[in-house]
Amino acid sequence: MRIKYIKYFLVALASSFCFVIFYSKLKDVARSQREMTEMSSVKTATPQQRVSTTVRKISNIMTPYKLTPFNISEGFRKDIPKNGAYWNRKLHSLLREFDNAVNQTRKDPRSRFRCRPESFELLQTNIQDLQSYPLLYMDFLNGMECRDPPILINQHSKCALKENDQIFLLFAIKSTSKHFERRQAIRETWGREGSYDNGVQVRTVFLLGRSSLDDPNLDKLVSLEAQQFQDLLVWDFQDSFYNLTLKEHVFFKWILDHCPSVSFIFKGDDDVFANTQAILNHLQSLDPAQASSLYTGQIIEKASPLRDSKIKYYVPQTFYEGPYPPYAGGGGFLFSGNLIPSLYHVSFYIPFFPIDDVYTGMCFKALGISSSIHGGFRTFDIREQDRENACVHKDLLLVHKRNPQQTMRLWRNMHSSMLTC
Ligand SMILES: *[C@@H]1O[C@H](CO)[C@@H](O)[C@H](O)[C@H]1NC(C)=O
Ligand SMILES: *[C@@H]1O[C@H](CO)[C@@H](O)[C@H](O)[C@H]1NC(C)=O
Ligand SMILES: *[C@@H]1O[C@H](CO)[C@@H](O)[C@H](O)[C@H]1NC(C)=O
């Protein structure tokens, strides 16, 4: 009898031993599988992706928020009609929120935006003909509330200067990973950093997102380029036309954090030619009132949404209805750095718009800043026969568009001692 019990006991012991071994093996397998997937994801992950996970954790903690006092102008409220279009409704509901909060301490407006995809059903309830929207518009609609992508490559000391010195002009150029040649042409010509006449300081940053999945992965080159030139800012969102408004928003935030005392900002594309000296002369000629509320460029007035779904600037009728406030063509425009805090903050009461320069125009209009026309900005280019003529360019501030070779040639000719105009 006892032996039988011992036998049972031994069998039980042996089987539980086997079970323990089996279980720990199972765990090992699971762990090694997990490690393998982690390793392979590390292997395929770009340096940026690896950075991004650590950065994301940090960016979730909101930095303390100090609200700049501002009002939203009557002009803007009147410009944007109240109607059934999705964006118009979204805007006026945010404006109501703004007004209701006026007498209370306003809460951090950033907390209102939650970055999660809207359900298709909910969007469809709000937009009757959603099925007829272009596919890319769906991406835009889904990302409308995503305003806080982590920064992957930063330039912390871009604006760090000796005491009492400040950056006079910052060139902020919208670019994409694959446009290295354009960036290099800008670095070698109109975007050259340093000290100009009268000792004014000029700096340059290029604003990048991540390349699309269809593009070859250039992350390695981009990080090398950033190390080499220290002028790239890269955020963790997909570089696309509809994401340019997001690019603007994160750039405002970047200035606020890293370059708050810059005097003027030039924001533009990487396929333009800018005449740095003419820009500096113009900025230095402004009186203090003009200098503190500058928004200038080629101002597009009385524009309205284009309704042809095949073009880049298409805006569906059920998305936005009404005219556009006057806005400076996004190819290149200038504005005062001291407007950045209120621009950034007012943008939390204006829903993202798929066209970035229209959106910028709205932000300025909301602050009651009127745009001023400057004839030297030619975002629709000049007469064909003048395009290689350095003399003609001497009086212009900006032309669109020029490729890197044309940019190099124009710059050389403009600065040639042989040039007689
Ligand atoms: C906003 O408007 C109110 C009333 O018109 C005015 O008292 C206040 O000073 C304005 N605030 C700013 C920051 O302009
Ligand atoms: C805010 O307070 C002022 C004066 O106390 C009052 O006239 C105004 O109607 C209030 N505004 C709102 C939106 O409650
Ligand atoms: C903008 O970027 C986000 C984040 O990468 C992406 O999910 C979204 O699809 C992009 N939107 C558009 C319209 O390309």
Higher pLDDT, 38 or 374: 374
Mean pLDDT confidence for 84-96:
96
pLDDT interval class at 162 (50, 70, 90): confident
Percent with pLDDT over 70 in the chain: 83
Ligand 3 atom closest to the Cα of residue 236 is 5
CA distance 248 to 259: 15
Q: What pLDDT score was predicted for residue 152?
A: 98
Handedness of CA 61, 63, 65, 68 (dihedral sign): negative
Higher pLDDT, 70 or 266: 266
Mean pLDDT confidence for 97-109:
74
Ligand 2 atom closest to the Cα of residue 100 is 13
Residue 45 has pLDDT above 60, yes or no: no
Q: What pLDDT score was predicted for residue 64?
A: 54
Q: What pLDDT score was predicted for residue 7?
A: 57
140 pocket-lining for ligand 3 (C-beta < 6 Å): yes
Q: Determine which residue's CA is closest to atom 11 belonging to ligand 2.
A: 103
**35 token code pair:** 């490690």
The owner of tokens 């066209």 is 355
Question: How far is the centre of ligand 3, averaged over its atoms, from the C-alpha of 250 (Å)?
Answer: 14
Handedness of CA 391, 394, 396, 398 (dihedral sign): positive
pLDDT interval class at 8 (50, 70, 90): low
99 pocket-lining for ligand 2 (C-beta < 6 Å): yes
Residue 116 has pLDDT above 90, yes or no: no
Question: How far is the centre of ligand 1, averaged over its atoms, from the C-alpha of 74 (Å)?
Answer: 12
Q: What pLDDT score was predicted for residue 12?
A: 53
Q: What pLDDT score was predicted for residue 25?
A: 45
Preceding peptide of 365 cis, ω within 30°: no
CA 344 to each of CA 252, 367, 396: distance values in angstroms, whole numbers, following the listed order: 6, 11, 30
To the nearest whole number, what is the mean pLDDT of the chain? Answer: 86
The phi and psi torsions of 399 (rounded to 5 degrees) equal -130, 145
Q: What pLDDT score was predicted for residue 269?
A: 98
Q: Determine which residue's CA is closest to atom 4 belonging to ligand 2.
A: 103
**282 token code pair:** 């113009």
Q: Determine which residue's CA is closest to atom 6 belonging to ligand 2.
A: 103
Least confident of 11-25, 68-82, 255-269: 11-25
Mean pLDDT confidence for 98-108:
72
Query: Per-domain residue ranges for the chain?
Result: 2-44, 151-414
pLDDT tens readout for residues 336-395: 999 999 999 999 999 999 999 999 999 999 999 999 999 999 988 899 999 989 999 999
Q: What pLDDT score was predicted for residue 51?
A: 41
Q: Determine which residue's CA is closest to atom 8 belonging to ligand 2.
A: 103
Query: Mean pLDDT highest for which of 1-15, 31-45, 271-285?
Result: 271-285
Q: What pLDDT score was predicted for residue 109?
A: 77
pLDDT tens readout for residues 396-417: 999 999 999 999 999 999 999 9
Residue pair 363/350 in contact (Cβ under 8 Å)? The answer is yes
Percent with pLDDT over 90 in the chain: 73
Ligand 1 atom closest to the Cα of residue 71 is 1
CA 350 to each of CA 141, 174, 201: distance values in angstroms, whole numbers, following the listed order: 14, 22, 33
pLDDT tens readout for residues 203-241: 999 999 999 889 999 999 999 999 999 999 999 999 999
- At 385 the three-state DSSP class reads helix
pLDDT tens readout for residues 282-292: 999 999 999 99
143 pocket-lining for ligand 3 (C-beta < 6 Å): yes
Q: What pLDDT score was predicted for residue 165?
A: 82
Question: How far is the centre of ligand 2, averaged over its atoms, from the C-alpha of 103 (Å)?
Answer: 6
pLDDT tens readout for residues 323-338: 999 999 999 999 999 9
CA distance 159 to 155: 9
Q: What pLDDT score was predicted for residue 9?
A: 52
Q: What pLDDT score was predicted for residue 212?
A: 86
Q: What pLDDT score was predicted for residue 69?
A: 82
Higher pLDDT, 199 or 16: 199
Mean pLDDT confidence for 284-310:
96
Question: Using the 8-state DSSP alphabet, how is residue 220 labeled?
Answer: H
CA distance 188 to 229: 12
Residue of 240, 244, 314, 353 best suited for mutating to test ligand 3, as the one with most atoms within 8 Å of CB: 240
136 pocket-lining for ligand 3 (C-beta < 6 Å): yes
Q: Determine which residue's CA is closest to atom 5 belonging to ligand 1.
A: 71
Q: What pLDDT score was predicted for residue 24?
A: 46
Higher pLDDT, 209 or 24: 209
Mean pLDDT confidence for 153-165:
88
CA distance 349 to 105: 16
Q: Which CATH class is domain 151-414?
A: alpha beta
102 pocket-lining for ligand 2 (C-beta < 6 Å): yes
Residue 46 has pLDDT above 90, yes or no: no
pLDDT interval class at 101 (50, 70, 90): confident
Q: What pLDDT score was predicted for residue 146?
A: 92
Q: What pLDDT score was predicted for residue 79?
A: 93
Q: What pLDDT score was predicted for residue 16?
A: 53
238 pocket-lining for ligand 3 (C-beta < 6 Å): yes
104 pocket-lining for ligand 2 (C-beta < 6 Å): no
